[in-house]
Homo-oligomer: A and B are copies of this chain.
């Protein structure tokens, strides 16, 4: 290939992907306070910190008992992964999935705008109505919209609504994010994990899912 890098122009930095991962995880384990987490939870939190670039994230992460075990078991059994945003769906590393699990995001479905209008809510929330046929035993990954997490909690207040196996609740932001995650941990309709407060987002949601999907770190 013409124009490819000439050795003279090389800057000094780590170019080995595996070494970068190992060094990153070592720095995180040296700096972050992970003492609250059990042996199942710790690698999930480490990978979320890695995605966020923020060791202080550890203080905001919370799990209901048995979450990691339930989520891992569901994924091994082929559970679909239901995502509130396309960025979450696109970040999931398909080769880490244990059972070629389907990854679904309904936000761009053409029925969503009408549904949002009928329900008087956001498109992110209304899109979850299209999850119903896939919800039983699924792993839910909400990494963007507080209204999506609130809507899911409302859906699950109905005893006939199918139950997901586990919920990753990491919506981000300034209006409703903290409140929706507090409500998830209060109600805990199924095993769940959250990042409390305003922090959240697709990167840490994806990191949690990728850590649950495969126990290998590098």
Q: Do the beta carbons of B177 and A13 come within 8 Å of each other?
A: no
Residue A200 lies at the interface, judged by CB distance under 8 Å to chain B: yes
CA of A137 to CA of B68, assembled, Å: 46
Mask, A133-170, CB within 8 Å of B = 1, is: 00000000000001100110111011011000000000
Interface of A is mostly: helix
Q: Do the beta carbons of B154 and A11 come within 8 Å of each other?
A: yes
Q: Do the beta carbons of A160 and B3 come within 8 Å of each other?
A: yes
CA of A197 to CA of B146, assembled, Å: 28
Q: How far is the CB of A39 from chain B (nearest CB, A)?
A: 22
Interface residues on A, range: 35 or more
Q: Closest B residue to A25 by CB, please name it.
A: B174
Interface residues of A in 1-54 (CB under 8 A from B): 1, 3-6, 9-11, 13-17, 20, 23-24, 27-28, 50-54
Greatest chain B CB density within 10 A among A27, A86, A151, A174 is at: A174
Q: Closest B residue to A180 by CB, please name it.
A: B13
Q: How far is the CB of A61 from chain B (nearest CB, A)?
A: 14
- What are the 3 A-B residue pairs with the smallest beta carbon separation, nearest first? A53-B198, A90-B90, A15-B121
Residue A59 lies at the interface, judged by CB distance under 8 Å to chain B: no
